Amino acid sequence: MSRMGTSRTSRGRVRVARLLFLASLPLTLAFSAACSSASASTPVLGTPVATTSAGAQQVTIHAFDAMRFEPNVITVHVGQTVELTLTNDGSSDHDFALSEGVAEPVKIVVKGGQSAMSTFTLDRPGTYSFTCSQFGHAGAGMRGVLIAQ
């Protein structure tokens, strides 16, 4: 009889352990998802680092294979030329695409480990979105905001 009692107790403990594991699994997954989305949407602020002799605001944005731009929020002056350099710190192709607030759409495409530059001017104050237009990148969080003041 004691052998049978021990067997029931062992099975009961295993059952309780399984239930605890299964009960904690959704909480663990929810916590992981919350942490990963929070880091993807955390603003990394940037402003022009210098002004050229011609008065252009120099801005550098880094693109990463972790589907993020750094900085992902940039403040510039309205009516002053922006000289934007996109540096690809990853190995996949990335780009900077801006179609709002500019006379003509801006697109800078760079291969892994390379940089490219373009100039543009924002004529009106506002908040404008930029993205990486490579397939699936913007949807994975590779986007940012350009604030013209």
Contact between 61 and 142 (Cβ < 8 Å): no
Strand-pairing partners, residue 28, are none
In single-letter form, the type of residue at position 100 comes to E
DSSP secondary structure letter of residue 56: P
pLDDT of 79 reads 94
Q: Rounded to two decimals, what is the model's pTM?
A: 0.70
DSSP secondary structure letter of residue 114: -
Per-residue pLDDT tens over the stretch 51-110: 777 789 999 999 999 999 999 999 999 999 999 999 999 999 999 999 999 999 999 999
In single-letter form, the type of residue at position 140 comes to A
**Residues 57-81: b if buried by 16+ CB within 10 A, e if exposed:** bebbbbbeeebbbebbebbbbeeeb
In single-letter form, the type of residue at position 3 comes to R
Place 45 in a pLDDT band, splitting at 50, 70 and 90: confident
